[in-house]
Amino acid sequence: MVRTRAQDQAAAKSEDTTSAPPTESKIPQKRQEPEDEDDTNEEDEPPTKASKKGKEANQGNNSTKGNESNETNDPNEGNESNQGSESNDGNKPNDGNKPNEDNKPSKSNKPNTTIRTLLSTHGTLPLSDTSLTSPQKPTPETLLAHLLNATLSSTRISHTLAAKTVRTVIDAGYANLSTLEKDTWERRTEILTEGGYTHYREKTATQLGELAALLRSEYDGDLNNLLGQAKEAAGSDASHEKVRDEVRSRLKKIKGVGEVAVDVFCDTAQGVWRELAPFLDPRSQKTAEGLGLSGDAEVLFGEPEIGRDPVEMCRLASVLTVVRLEGKEGEFT
């Protein structure tokens, strides 16, 4: 038996082109045990060509099996790896390859032809057709004009007639609080009649006098002070929505200013009071949806044509109002 083993060893040595260390006779026994197949054994035992080829083949098979297990045997792991999940830190892809929401094409990055057409055909700014000297600046006159527009437009008269009356009262100097205060009830009634505001002229003339008195007593004649109070009540780090809510609650305390009037004010004044943006009144939200747009003011605010610009949001709100009131939805569908 001893001679036969020696002969076997001699035959094995003759097949190897590289001589193995004296301990090589023990290697096969160790490699038959799976738990000993690791990198620590490779450092002590220089592999022969045959063992090196076997190792490469085994590594190739093992890597293939590893890939198959990630892609097929465990679909959850494969999906997590593709999504850049942190469950496998060693194989975590960099953020640039991570297909998250930041890297996905955003809807707001795509041109919206409907919004572009709306703004190019009907997108005039509120009060731009009046005699106001600074309709795009938050002056006391501009803010009072926006409030007059909201009050006159919220009653049940035609859009065209309301617009004419707004131009008439502004031409009469009623955006200047001092002028509005000094005019008599009879004179205010005459101005409203001149604008075509006949159904509600007496009641509205009274409300205009009360409005002037309240602005003087509560806000020192300047609606910007109303915004200041609203911002203070909302808090220094408050969202625009919170500030807008505070503004709305104060406006509703003015006699003749109801929910619809406040909506109109927020639509038109957001271009000069940026704290109101983005805003879109409920009726204009439905109009937007009917044109295939989002009814969400925040989504529309992020569209590239709006660019999170309160002035452009004001233009969009105004054009949606015009489209609805003048029945022009068919032009855009």
Q: What is the mean pLDDT of residues 237-257?
A: 96
Choose the most confident range, by mean pLDDT, from 40-54, 84-98, 99-113, 308-322.
308-322
Of residues 50 and 123, the one with the higher pLDDT is: 123
Span 262-293, pLDDT tens digits: 999 999 999 999 999 999 999 999 999 999 99
Domain match, 90 and 180 both:
no
**Tokens at residue 204, please?**
């509205």
Domain match, 87 and 162 both:
no
Domain that holds residue 122: 113-332
Instruction: With respect to residue 11, please indicate whether it lies within any of the assigned structural domains.
Output: no
Instruction: With respect to residue 239, please indicate whether it lies within any of the assigned structural domains.
Output: yes
Domain match, 84 and 139 both:
no
**Would you say residue 30 has pLDDT above 70?**
no
Domain match, 96 and 117 both:
no
**Tokens at residue 117, please?**
């057409």
Q: Where a domain ends, among 83, 104, 125?
A: 104
Nearest residue to 169 via CA among 179, 155, 160: 179
CA dihedral 132, 134, 137, 142 (to 10 degrees): -20
Q: Where a domain ends, among 86, 104, 122?
A: 104
Domain match, 183 and 327 both:
yes
Domain match, 171 and 225 both:
yes
CA dihedral 238, 260, 207, 125 (to 10 degrees): 80
Q: What is the mean pLDDT of the chain?
A: 79
Domain match, 94 and 186 both:
no
Say which residue the tokens 């200041």 belong to: 228
Instruction: With respect to residue 18, please indicate whether it lies within any of the assigned structural domains.
Output: no
Question: What does the pLDDT read at residue 302?
Answer: 98
Question: What does the pLDDT read at residue 199?
Answer: 87
Instruction: With respect to residue 179, please indicate whether it lies within any of the assigned structural domains.
Output: yes
Domain match, 90 and 202 both:
no
Domain match, 79 and 167 both:
no
Instruction: With respect to residue 40, please indicate whether it lies within any of the assigned structural domains.
Output: no
**Burial code of 244-271, b = ≥16 C-beta within 10 A, e = fewer?**
bebbbebbeebebbeeebbbbbbbbbbb
Domain match, 283 and 176 both:
yes
Residue 60 neighbours by CB distance under 10 Å: 10
Q: Where a domain ends, among 54, 87, 104?
A: 104
Nearest residue to 168 via CA among 203, 214, 116, 208: 208
pTM over 0.85: no
Total tally of structural domains belonging to the chain: 2
Q: How far is residue 29's CA from residue 6's CA, in Å, rounded to a whole number?
A: 17
For the chain, how many residues are written? 333
Span 131-187, pLDDT tens digits: 999 999 999 999 999 999 999 999 988 999 999 999 999 999 999 999 999 999 999
**Tokens at residue 301, please?**
């605010």
Question: What does the pLDDT read at residue 122?
Answer: 86
Domain match, 166 and 296 both:
yes
Give residues with Cβ within 8 angstroms of 108, minimum separation 6: 299, 302, 303, 304
Instruction: With respect to residue 181, please indicate whether it lies within any of the assigned structural domains.
Output: yes
Question: What does the pLDDT read at residue 309?
Answer: 98
**Would you say residue 57 has pLDDT above 80?**
no
Of residues 120 and 27, the one with the higher pLDDT is: 120
Residue 135 identity (one-letter amino acid): P
Q: How far is CA 196 from the centre of its chain?
A: 42
Question: What does the pLDDT read at residue 7?
Answer: 53
Q: How far is residue 192's CA from residue 199's CA, in Å, rounded to a whole number?
A: 10
Span 95-113, pLDDT tens digits: 444 433 333 334 446 679 9
Nearest residue to 247 via CA among 216, 217, 219: 219
Instruction: With respect to residue 100, please indicate whether it lies within any of the assigned structural domains.
Output: yes
Radius of gyration of the chain (CA): 39
How many helices (DSSP H) and strands (DSSP E) are in the chain?
Answer: 17, 0
Domain match, 94 and 159 both:
no
Question: What does the pLDDT read at residue 125?
Answer: 94
Contact by Cβ (8 Å): 204, 153 = no
Instruction: With respect to residue 168, please indicate whether it lies within any of the assigned structural domains.
Output: yes
Q: How far is residue 8's CA from residue 2's CA, in Å, rounded to a whole number?
A: 10
Q: pLDDT band for position 93 (50/70/90)?
A: very low
